[in-house]
């Protein structure tokens, strides 16, 4: 191992996307930085989350498109094979879950890497792998999040999957129960189903993706059911058993559903406990690490990424890391701004949203006006035909005449979102948006229809 200095400028605890970005940037700026990682540098996103799941989704989308050929372009016979997907995840995405490339990238920039579990031992004091560091300038807490496992009786004793096992399989299971109809649940349910897995998706709330506009969950449930997925909403699991290579999930009311595997995707919780936060006056029992607009958690301590409980997205972790780095370097800059935080769930159709939903806007006491357009009724949606499900919904603050929220569901829903995110971030008056030209026939042209509908859709 390289010589590790004990007096250092900064220690980054957790080298997931947030910590890795902060550590690399600080090293590039010439600071003496130690990065500590207990597992793999890069964290959840490249090895067990965003990247492998999106490779599965890309492959599943190809199958779905090929199955849409009949009636549109001739005939097709699709033989699904998961082997190339499993190989890509091993060879291209994760290097068989080896992070040497990422470690080398960091050390080449001048950083000092320590493999191990770091512990705060008081202000400016960090211990890891039997070494003690005296930190002159900054400790960055970037410990991420962990799956939140619900207290369903019997569950803990079963070999259930989290996202980690789900994206590491070499073959799709014959059948799969998915507990949780949030982002992970819907993305992986659809991807596996397209490879032939019989999927049952169980969501406790009334709708899938319950944080999104109500119409979104209903639309997505229809699409998934059309593809052969059994969707159970407002369904509570009261017990789980695993016997004879099968999971048996009992639902409130007594119905039992079975599957070869069970994926638990019921949310993630920030990782605060067990690494000495109390030694710097912070609460390890808190729901998330509280930070101010410059990502400061305490004197000499910054927090970035999932641990802060904001958004739980890779782009949020990297954005926050930039803010923290600037502040650590003593450069003035604006506070982190989440008004136009974009979210994309990569189902087919993609579900993109940014800013406030209508409900959230009203809860904040804003006078919300909404406008909606259906993608199949737009020129491009009509031309697209098979797989054209989707909608655009806009939420305007009627008092200020600017958009404060938008939803874009459709074949390119996540991409269409971009223009809406710019409009919200820049507070472009709705009256000016109405006088823009929207290229014909793009998917984003449906935004023009939704703008015209503002005030009529309420
Ligand atoms: C299945 C799935 C799909 C996802 N898809 C997307 C997507 O498409 N787009 C998107 O934007 N987001 C997606 N996300 C969310 C994204 O993965 C996270 O927001 C992102 O990984 C957060 O990065 P982070 O650095 O905060 O934390 P993490 O990636 O969790 O990294 C934290 C790191 O800290 C380490 N650590 C913890 N404690 C210590 C300690 N005491 N000492 C040393 N190391 C420690 C951990 O080992 C870990 O490597 C997805 C998540 C999942 C689960
Ligand atoms: N495309 C993306 O950007 C992407 C993809 C996957 C995950 N993520 C991130 O990862 C995080 C975790 O994803 P997730 O899907 O686990 O969480 P989530 O919070 O998005 O969804 C969890 C779902 O599980 C439901 N639920 C909770 N307890 C339940 C129970 N006992 N029975 C049935 N349903 C229950 C909730 O009502 C909710 O709908 C997300 O917050 C998201 O930020 C992002």
Instruction: Give residue-wise pLDDT tens across range 328-364.
Output: 999 999 999 999 999 999 999 999 999 999 999 999 9
311 Cα–ligand 1 center, Å: 12
Tell me the C-alpha to C-alpha distance, in Å, between residue 296 and each of 289, 306, 311, 328, 383: 10, 15, 17, 9, 51
Instruction: Reply yes or no on whether the pLDDT at 265 is more than 70.
Output: yes
Residues 120 and 192 in one domain: no
pLDDT higher than threshold 80 for residue 1: no
| Domain co-membership, 187 together with 312 | no
pLDDT of the residue at 455:
84
SS3 359: helix
- For a mutational test of ligand 1's pocket, the pick from 25, 35, 45, 268, i.e. the residue with the most ligand atoms closer than 8 A to its C-beta, is 45
Could you tell me if residue 80 is inside a domain? no
Compute how many other C-beta atoms are within 10 angstroms of the C-beta atom of residue 432.
Answer: 11
HSE-CB at 434 with a 13 A cutoff on CA atoms is: 14
Tell whether 404 is covered by a domain.
yes
Do 195 and 263 reside in the same domain of the chain? yes
Q: What does the H/E/C string look like for 158-175?
A: CCCECHHHHCCCCCCCCE
pLDDT of 381 over the 50 cut: yes
- Asked if 424 contacts 406 with a C-beta cutoff of 8 angstroms, the reply is yes
Q: Cβ(163) to ligand 1 under 6 A?
A: yes
pLDDT at 457 (0 to 100): 54
Do residues 419 and 376 share a domain?
yes
For residue 3, pLDDT beyond 90: no
For the stretch 49-106, pLDDT in tens is 999 999 999 999 999 999 999 999 999 999 999 999 999 999 999 999 999 999 999 9
Alpha carbon of 300 to ligand 2 centroid (Å):
33
Question: Per-residue pLDDT averaged across 174-203, rounded?
Answer: 98
* Ligand 1 neighbourhood includes 44 CB (under 6 angstroms): yes
With a 6 Å cutoff on the Cβ, whether 39 touches ligand 1 is yes
Tokens found for residue 435:
């006088």
Q: How remote is the CA of residue 208 from the centroid of ligand 2, in Å?
A: 10
Strand order in the sheet with 342-345: 342-345, 350-355, 402-410, 391-397, 368-374
**Domain range for residue 212?**
155-267
Q: Over range 405-428, report the average pLDDT.
A: 98
The atom number, within ligand 1, closest to the CA of 268 reads: 53
Ligand 1: atom nearest CA of 145 is 30
What predicted TM-score, i.e. pTM, was given to this entire model? 0.98
Question: Based on the domain organization, do 295 and 372 belong to the same domain?
Answer: no
| Residue 458: per-residue pLDDT | 58
Q: Is the CB of 358 under 6 A from ligand 1?
A: no
Do 273 and 138 sit in the same domain of this protein? yes
Minimal-distance CA residue to ligand 2 atom 6: 184
Question: Among residues 142, 291, 155, 265, which one has the least CA distance to residue 203?
Answer: 265
Tell me the mean pLDDT in the region 204-226. 98
Residue 402 has pLDDT above 60, yes or no: yes
CATH number of the domain encompassing residue 307: 3.50.50.60
Interatomic CA distance for residues 217 and 255, integer angstroms:
23
Ligand 1 pocket, residue 143 CB under 6 Å: yes
**Atom from ligand 1 closest to the CA of residue 346:** 8
Atom of ligand 1 nearest to the CA of 19: 25
- CB of 328 closer than 6 angstroms to any ligand 1 atom: no
Q: How far is the CA of 392 from the centre of ligand 1 (A)?
A: 30
Contact 326/163 with Cβ under 8 angstroms? no
Ligand 1 pocket member 184 (CB < 6 A): yes
Q: Are residues 168 and 135 located together in one domain of the fold?
A: no
Looking at the structure, tell me whether residues 448 and 350 fall in a common domain. Answer: yes
Does residue 35 share a domain with residue 108? Answer: yes
From the alpha carbon of 211, which atom of ligand 2 is closest? 39
For a pLDDT cut of 70, what percent of the chain falls above it? Answer: 98
Based on the fold, state whether residues 238 and 278 are members of the same structural domain: no
What residue's CA is closest to ligand 2, atom 28? Answer: 266
Q: What is the CA radius of gyration of the chain?
A: 23
One domain, residues 219 and 356: no
Report if residue 116 sits inside a domain: yes
Number of domains, the chain: 3
Same domain, 425 and 287: no
Residue 342, classed as helix, strand or coil, is strand
Binding-site residues, in ranges, read 54, 143-145, 180-187, 203, 267, 306
> From ligand 2's centre to the CA of 218, what distance in Å?
17
Last residue of a domain, one of 267, 283, 312: 267
In a domain, 52, yes or no: no
Does residue 59 belong to any structural domain of this protein? no
Q: What pLDDT, on the 0 to 100 scale, is given for residue 437?
A: 97
């Amino acid at each position: 191992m390289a010589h590790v200095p004990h007096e250092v400028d900064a220690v980054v605890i957790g080298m997931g996307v947030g910590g890795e970005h902060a550590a690399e940037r600080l090293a590039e700026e010439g600071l003496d930085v130690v990065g500590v990682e207990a597992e793999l540098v890069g964290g959840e996103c490249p090895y067990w989350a965003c990247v492998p799941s999106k490779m599965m989704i890309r492959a599943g989308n190809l199958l779905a498109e090929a199955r849409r050929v009949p009636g549109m372009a001739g005939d097709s016979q699709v033989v699904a094979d998961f082997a190339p997907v499993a190989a890509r995840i091993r060879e291209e995405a994760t290097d068989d879950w080896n992070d040497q490339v990422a470690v080398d990238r960091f050390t080449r920039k001048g950083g000092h890497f320590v493999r191990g579990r770091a512990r705060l031992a008081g202000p400016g004091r960090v211990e890891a792998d039997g070494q003690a560091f005296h930190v002159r300038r900054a400790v960055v807490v970037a410990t991420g999040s962990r799956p939140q496992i619900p207290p369903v009786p019997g569950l803990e004793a079963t070999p259930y999957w989290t996202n980690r096992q789900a994206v590491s399989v070499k073959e799709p299971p014959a059948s799969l129960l998915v507990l949780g109809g949030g982002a992970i649940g819907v993305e992986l349910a659809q991807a596996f189903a397209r490879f032939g897995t019989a999927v049952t998706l169980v969501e406790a709330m009334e709708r899938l993706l319950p944080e999104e506009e109500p119409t979104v969950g209903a639309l997505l449930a229809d699409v998934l059911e059309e593809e052969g997925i059994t969707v159970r909403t407002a369904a509570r699991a009261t017990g789980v058993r695993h016997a004879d290579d099968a999971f048996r999930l009992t639902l409130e009311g007594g119905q039992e559903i079975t599957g070869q595997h069970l994926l638990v995707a019921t949310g993630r919780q920030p990782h605060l406990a067990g690494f000495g936060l109390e030694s710097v006056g912070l609460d390890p029992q808190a729901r998330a690490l509280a930070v101010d607009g410059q990502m400061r958690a305490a004197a000499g301590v910054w927090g970035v990424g999932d641990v802060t409980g904001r958004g739980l997205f890779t782009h949020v972790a990297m954005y926050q890391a930039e803010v923290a780095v600037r502040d650590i370097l003593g450069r003035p800059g604006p506070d982190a701004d989440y008004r136009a935080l974009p979210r994309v769930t990569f189902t087919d159709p993609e579900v993109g949203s940014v800013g406030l939903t209508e409900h959230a806007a009203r809860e904040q006491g804003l006078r919300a006006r909404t406008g909606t357009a259906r993608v199949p009724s737009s020129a491009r949606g009509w031309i697209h035909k098979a797989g054209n499900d989707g909608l655009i919904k806009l939420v305007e603050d009627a008092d200020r005449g600017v958009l404060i929220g938008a939803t874009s569901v459709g074949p390119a829903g996540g991409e269409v979102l971009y223009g809406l995110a710019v409009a919200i971030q820049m507070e472009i008056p709705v009256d000016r948006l109405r006088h823009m030209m929207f290229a014909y026939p793009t998917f984003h042209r449906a935004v023009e229809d939704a703008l015209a509908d503002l005030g009529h859709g309420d």
